[in-house]
Structures are given as structure tokens and as C-alpha cells.
Structure 1
């Protein structure tokens, strides 16, 4: 969760979603970032359990993706920071091991 919120763009996304459920295109316009970049950040936030996305069909049959915040409460302690650091280091090691040479 710390890694997910440890990026300024993701904090801006959380702030944008604090106003309520919003369509991806609208959120991208409000934040001034591209939809592909927004989707990358939303995926990270969703994986951390901070946001949820729902796909809906508009009356014209067009797929519409909406996101909203999931209620969360983060208590920052020394143990939480150390666990996040270990997880980040393990993820980095895993990425290096999976990279083809």
C-alpha cells in the first residue's frame, strides 16, 4: 500500500477520486494526464486495494470504466515502513530474476 501511494501522481488520483466515482476519461482530463498513464497508476492503486473499477455499458453500447476509492485506513509505524521496504526490495529482486538476458 505504501508503494502504491508513494508516487505523487497516485496521490493526485486519490485526491481526484475523493470527490466520488468518476469515469476514466473525465479523471484524466481533471488531472491533465493521458489515459494510458492513468490506467497504469490506477492498476497499481487497485492492486493495493485502494480503488476499485467497474465496467459499465452506456445506452449506446459503449463500454465505460468508472473508478472509486475503497475506504482505507493506513497506520504508519516503523514496522510498516520496514515491511514496505522489504517488499519493495523483494519485488525489485524478482523483476531482475525474471528479466531475460
Structure 2
């Protein structure tokens, strides 16, 4: 199981991140309380799309997870996620796709 990230603007992939897929999926599964916040919407087995507004709302959630992550690999995955969410939040018409297995 893994989650790949793609920032899209309309039908064009503007930026992508595939290097932390398994670690990101595990971090979200173990650190995010079910049904709480935007990050709990991410399905590791299906594709999930965040709008600019969703990305903006999820940024503080990622910051809180950084305080509870288990080691440097999870931290790197969460920092990458924060970077992608920030890019989405500042890209007009942007959507961040979480591509699940």
C-alpha cells in the first residue's frame, strides 16, 4: 500500500511526489484519528482529490502530526505532504490528488 501525490492544474500534472508512498500511507493510517479533519478523508486504496480549500485546511493538521511522527522517514513524508499541500493551496485552480493503490 502506498499513496502517490500529484498536483494538477486542470488536466496537467504540475508537480508530483512518488518517493514517500508507503511511508506516507502508514503515517496517515497510524497518526490521523478516523473521521477527524481533512486528512482522514484520504483513502489509501482509492484516489482522493483535495481542492485548494481542502489543502489549506489540511496544512495545520500536518503540522500537528509532525510533533507525533515516529522517526525521520515519517517526518520526511509529512514534510513532503506539507509542501505539496502548500503548493496546491497557492495554485489557482489546483487540485492535489492522493493516488492510492
TM-score (normalised: structure 2): 0.30
Which fold has the larger relative contact order, with Cα–Cα distance below 8 Å and residues 6 or more apart in sequence? 2
- Which protein has the larger Cα radius of gyration, Structure 1 or Structure 2? 1
Structure with the higher helix share, 1 or 2: 1
TM-score (normalised: structure 1): 0.30
